Amino acid sequence: MQSQELNITEGQASQLNGKTSAIPLLDLKAQFAEIREEVMAAVARVMESQHFVLGPEVTALEKEIAAFVECKFAVACASGSDALLLSLMARGIGTGDEVVTTPFTFGATAGAIARLGARPVFVDIDPATYNLDAAKLEAAITPRTRSIMPVHLFGLSADMSAILKIARRHNLLVVEDSAQAIGAKFDATLVGGLGDVGCFSFFPSKNLGGSGDGGMVVTNDAEIADAIKVLSLHGTRKKYRYERLGMNSRLDALQAAILRVKLKHLPKWTAERQRNAERYGSLFGEYDLADSIGLPVTPAGCVHVYNQYVIRVKRRDELKVHLQNLGIATEIYYPGPLHTQPAFESLGYHAGDFPISEVASQEVLALPIYPELSAEQQRSVVEGIASFVERRPSEFKGW
């Protein structure tokens, strides 16, 4: 789920409890300040080599990502969207086939399916986790189903135990859309290595973000890894000999070098996101807001990495404006489920077909959660929400 929503309001400032506050949704400048020398040294290394496409930096990143997510193989590509596309192409999924996925996600998930001529088949979400509801999955499987594409939304794994049982029973490929969830776990296994293929995005807003687009496919299947490698290089293994109809989806060496620097810091950044999530929970309790808004949940056995910290609240749009006026940036992931989007009209779905996704799209709001977020800034965010709820206390009881 490669997100392009990076409209960060860094210049906003206003008064909150007498203090000037400007709190962006994400502060990439603060991250860069911490690792500037390491990043610039990596960039200089690539510039001195003049090797810009694939090469040793990309090969090294592939090995390091494979080790990080505990998979045998990793293949770099140009974006998280391409990672999804290549994974389906590797198994020949196309016209007439069906792939089951969630409607509550970024458009690239279902877009990769549709671009190959296959049909995205949607299954509604669990209201607590926002991930595909595995209890509704089997009913969506038909003789044409070739794959299941669960999304680990916001940094939390889908219910992979139930999904994998169903997939194995029907002999279906499982492609994990792990774009927002690098480092997340389900039953002690890192996402990406649970299914047949895992797909990551290195879009700048991700927990491991580059300085542009980039993606990675991970797998424990040598045949799949080889097919993706060939497909990403115009279908070639040997220059000018085209084995398959492939595409140009190569990762730039500059991106690989920068990502190699950031990967070393990822465990610390993940721990800081988790610390901030825990602090939000304490603050919402302190301000007596636990019954007024829905907070993120982490099912037993899961490790959440909080690419987004998403609350659920009534009068969401009004709250968003209220916080914006206080200099606090927020974002809506996602304002409309995919089955309601014009690009997917041909699928024949209608409003009301996936009610849990539709209601969630009207109530979810992502708060700042980036590693550099201070305790004072978090308190300002919660104070801002409290000041909104206090205006209409009767409307925010019993969430």
Would you state the pLDDT for residue 394? 66
The answer to whether residues 160 and 52 belong to one domain is yes
pTM of whole model > 0.85?
A: yes
The answer to whether residues 214 and 357 belong to one domain is no
The mean pLDDT value for 51-78 works out to 97
217-245 per-position pLDDT tens digit:
999 999 999 999 999 999 999 999 999 99
Residue 9 domain flag: no
Q: Report the alpha-carbon distance of residue 28 to residue 26 in Å, rounded.
A: 6
Torsion of CA 8, 10, 16, 18, to 10 degrees: 180
The answer to whether residues 202 and 297 belong to one domain is no
Residue 4 domain flag: no
Confidence of residue 4 (pLDDT cuts 50, 70, 90): very low
CATH code for position 375:
3.90.1150.10
In percent, the amount of the chain with pLDDT more than 70 equals 93
Burial annotation 293-327 (CB, 10 A radius, 16+ → b, else e): bbbbebeeebbbbbbbbbbbbbbbeebbebbeebb
Would you state the pLDDT for residue 290? 87
Would you state the pLDDT for residue 14? 37
The answer to whether residues 198 and 144 belong to one domain is yes
Would you state the pLDDT for residue 370? 98
Residue 77: C-alpha distances to residues 3, 85, 123, 146, 234 (Å) = 16, 11, 28, 23, 12
Residue 2 domain flag: no
251-306 per-position pLDDT tens digit:
999 999 999 999 999 999 999 999 999 999 999 999 999 899 999 999 999 999 99
The answer to whether residues 239 and 269 belong to one domain is no
CATH code for position 73:
3.40.640.10
The answer to whether residues 244 and 96 belong to one domain is yes
Total number of domains constituting the chain: 2
**Domain hosting residue 363, numbered range:** 14-27+264-396
Residue 140 domain flag: yes
Q: What is the number of other CB atoms lying within 10 angstroms of the CB of residue 140?
A: 17
Confidence of residue 5 (pLDDT cuts 50, 70, 90): very low
* 18: pLDDT strictly greater than 90: no
Contact 127, 83 (CB under 8 A): no
124-182 per-position pLDDT tens digit:
999 999 999 999 999 999 999 999 999 999 999 999 999 999 999 999 999 999 999 99
